[in-house]
């Protein structure tokens, strides 16, 4: 039987996103067997792959990292200890397989000898030995010769898959069946967050126990100190802390995941300014970093209340929860806004900003399989960027469209980033639209012309109040279902 791979592993091996392979399954280019694909089918679809020159999973990881800009990723090799354990596990599998093969081989040889004896005994007998037995003997001889004299070149994908197993572990979460890989020195929690999964956690530091999960199969290894003590009963049932452990090999765990804003607790964290960077004359990127031991749990698209000194503001988070330590905000210059004045004036790297939240329900519909249209106006791009980065981390297979209407006040201040996403991802389309403020109607006409049947989409709209009101009213007047429409005023 052909070796089969999960979609995540297959995508890594051939250097595309999981979404791309899902599209190929939907269009019938690739067969799927219970969510698995065969190595042979993959090789047929990507015949140009060669082991020596094309380490696909590194390529796709690089594309994603470059698309996300200078982001968190510390691409470290697993520690020597973890590597040794993974190699040990694979060696054990190999020894098992070898022992199995030897047993099968011995069985076939015994069977052949038995048939030969029967033939000899029956040589002088009458009637002549059954032709079927002779034929079976001949088949066995041929098969044995083929197996023993076989010089098949190993399938490069199978070889790459073995290498990938040593470098990173594959994890499946039950009951959602979400999958991700644990690379380098990552904890299981960090790897899950990086893949866009909202698993339950609190301190991310081994203290609170909120990231407790049950190991259904596979082994974990502690890589960080933990103060939280699991009870003996929990240990016996296989519970572990995701924030303190890494996966030794492929792993199946039972863990809680958040899907709605109500699952996320309110938090108060003192973060530090990492940088304030100009995005234009009247626009700044505020980069805050939380303490390593007190990171912010949020869903993509949510807001935070930021306080610096006496001044506060509520701003959408413009980055992905897959990096819960580095938080970005797009701040417009505003003489009436004390917080914005600090950002454009006195706020310097290293200074404290208190975060409170998160708030808001401008979040991705976790269970939807519809394609998505994001409509942003000016800094409405900030929460949309968070949603888009989250969708990319999840490797959604659905088509993603971004229509960004920009007035001269802001311009398309991160156009290069949007273009790099469009270059890197097959399923993403970027449409920049320059307009005078409030020109939502014109934009909606253009979107309607490009997509005659909008009902097959989820639509997310973010921007100034007048724009959001106009865009959502236009959609609803045209009969677009309210349940597929999510809006945020920025």
Q: Report, in Å, the least distance between residue 229 CB and ligand FES.
A: 11
How many whole angstroms separate alpha carbon 453 and alpha carbon 450? Answer: 9
Of the pair 243, 388, the CB lying nearest ligand FES is at 243
Contact 157, 13 (CB under 8 A): yes
C-beta atoms surrounding 202 within 10 Å: 17
- Tokens standing for 317? 């988070």
Q: Report, in Å, the least distance between residue 184 CB and ligand FES.
A: 19
Of the pair 202, 438, the CB lying nearest ligand FES is at 202
Of the pair 243, 488, the CB lying nearest ligand FES is at 243
Query: Which residue has tokens 């929860």?
Result: 321
Q: Report, in Å, the least distance between residue 231 CB and ligand FES.
A: 14
Of the pair 161, 323, the CB lying nearest ligand FES is at 323
Q: Report, in Å, the least distance between residue 253 CB and ligand FES.
A: 13
Of the pair 212, 390, the CB lying nearest ligand FES is at 212
Segment 187-216, which members bind ligand FES (CB under 6 A)? 201-211
Of the pair 200, 429, the CB lying nearest ligand FES is at 200
Q: Report, in Å, the least distance between residue 210 CB and ligand FES.
A: 5
Of the pair 209, 249, the CB lying nearest ligand FES is at 209
Segment 226-255, which members bind ligand FES (CB under 6 A)? 228, 241, 243
C-beta atoms surrounding 450 within 10 Å: 13
| 256 touching ligand FES, by CB under 6 A | no
Of the pair 242, 396, the CB lying nearest ligand FES is at 242
Assign 144 to helix, strand or coil. helix
Residues with Cβ within 8 Å of 453's Cβ and at least 6 positions away in sequence, in order, are none
Of the pair 234, 351, the CB lying nearest ligand FES is at 234
3-state helix, strand, coil in the chain (%, to 5): 40, 25, 35
Residue 163: closest CA among 83, 75, 60: 83
How many whole angstroms separate alpha carbon 408 and alpha carbon 365? Answer: 32
- Tokens standing for 130? 């059954």
Assign 313 to helix, strand or coil. strand
Sheet of 311-316, strand order: 311-316, 303-308, 352-359, 267-280, 283-289, 326-332
SS3 for 351-398 is CEEEEEEEECCCCCCCCCCCEEEEEEEHHHHHHHHHHHHHHHHCCCCC
DSSP per residue over 68-135, as a string?
H-S-S---PPPPHHHHHHHHHHHHHHHHHHHHHHHHHHHHHHHHHHHHHHHHHHTSS-SSPPPHHHHH
What string marks each residue from 97 to 136 as x (binds ligand FES by CB under 6 A) or -? ----------------------------------------
Q: Report, in Å, the least distance between residue 29 CB and ligand FES.
A: 41
The answer to whether the bond into 9 is cis (omega within 30° of 0) is: no
How many whole angstroms separate alpha carbon 187 and alpha carbon 45? Answer: 34
Query: Which residue has tokens 């089969």?
Result: 4
Q: Report, in Å, the least distance between residue 330 CB and ligand FES.
A: 29
Element (H, E) at 247: strand 245-247
Of the pair 169, 243, the CB lying nearest ligand FES is at 243
How many whole angstroms separate alpha carbon 68 and alpha carbon 61? Answer: 11
Size of the residue set binding ligand FES (CB under 6 A): 14
How many whole angstroms separate alpha carbon 465 and alpha carbon 488? Answer: 8
What string marks each residue from 143 to 182 as x (binds ligand FES by CB under 6 A) or -? ----------------------------------------
β-bridge mates for residue 174, sequence order: 254
- Which positions touch ligand FES (CB under 6 A)? 201-211, 228, 241, 243
């Amino acid at each position: 039987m052909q070796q089969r791979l999960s979609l995540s592993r297959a995508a890594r091996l051939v250097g595309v996103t999981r979404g791309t392979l899902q599209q190929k399954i939907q269009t019938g280019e690739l067969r799927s067997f219970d969510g698995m694909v065969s190595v042979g089918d993959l090789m047929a679809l990507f015949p140009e792959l060669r082991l020596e020159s094309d380490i696909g999973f590194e390529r796709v990881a690089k594309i994603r990292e470059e698309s996300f800009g200078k982001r968190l990723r510390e691409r470290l090799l697993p520690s020597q200890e973890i590597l040794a354990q993974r190699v040990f596990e694979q060696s054990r599998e190999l020894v098992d397989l070898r022992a199995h093969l030897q047993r099968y081989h011995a069985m076939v040889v015994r069977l052949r000898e038995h048939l030969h004896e029967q033939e000899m005994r029956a040589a002088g007998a009458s009637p002549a030995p059954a032709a079927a037995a002779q034929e079976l003997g001949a088949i066995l001889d041929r098969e044995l010769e083929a197996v023993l004299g076989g010089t098949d070149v190993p399938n490069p994908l199978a070889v790459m898959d073995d290498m990938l197993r040593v470098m990173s572990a594959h994890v499946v979460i039950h009951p959602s069946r979400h999958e991700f890989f644990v690379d380098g020195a990552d904890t299981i929690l960090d790897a899950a967050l990086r893949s866009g999964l909202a698993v339950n956690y609190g301190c991310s530091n081994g203290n609170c126990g909120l990231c407790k999960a049950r190991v259904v199969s596979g082994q974990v290894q502690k890589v960080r100190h933990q103060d939280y003590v699991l009870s003996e009963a929990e240990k016996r049932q296989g519970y572990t802390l995701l924030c303190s452990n890494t996966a030794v090999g492929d792993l199946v765990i039972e863990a809680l995941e958040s899907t709605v804003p109500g699952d996320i607790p309110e938090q108060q964290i003192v973060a530090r300014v990492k940088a304030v960077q100009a995005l234009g004359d009247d626009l700044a990127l505020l980069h805050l970093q939380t303490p390593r031991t007190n990171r912010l749990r949020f869903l993509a698209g949510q807001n935070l209340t930021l306080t610096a000194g006496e001044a506060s503001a509520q701003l959408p988070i413009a980055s992905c929860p897959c990096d819960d330590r580095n938080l970005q905000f797009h701040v417009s210059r505003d003489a009436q806004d004390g917080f914005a004045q600090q950002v454009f004036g006195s706020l310097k790297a290293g200074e404290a900003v208190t975060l409170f939240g998160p708030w808001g329900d401008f979040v991705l519909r976790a269970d939807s399989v519809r394609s998505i249209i994001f409509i942003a106006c000016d800094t409405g791009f900030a929460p949309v960027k968070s949603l888009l980065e989250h969708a990319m981390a999840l490797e959604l297979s659905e088509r993603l469209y971004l229509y960004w209407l920009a007035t001269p006040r802001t311009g398309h201040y991160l156009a290069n980033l949007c273009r790099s996403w469009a270059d890197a991802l097959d399923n993403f389309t970027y449409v920049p639209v320059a307009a005078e403020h409030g020109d939502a109607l014109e934009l909606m006409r253009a979107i309607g012309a490009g997509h005659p049947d909008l009902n097959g989409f989820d639509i997310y709209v973010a921007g100034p109040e007048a724009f959001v009101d106009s865009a959502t009213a236009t959609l609803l007047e045209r009969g677009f279902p309210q349940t597929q429409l999510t809006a945020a005023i920025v």
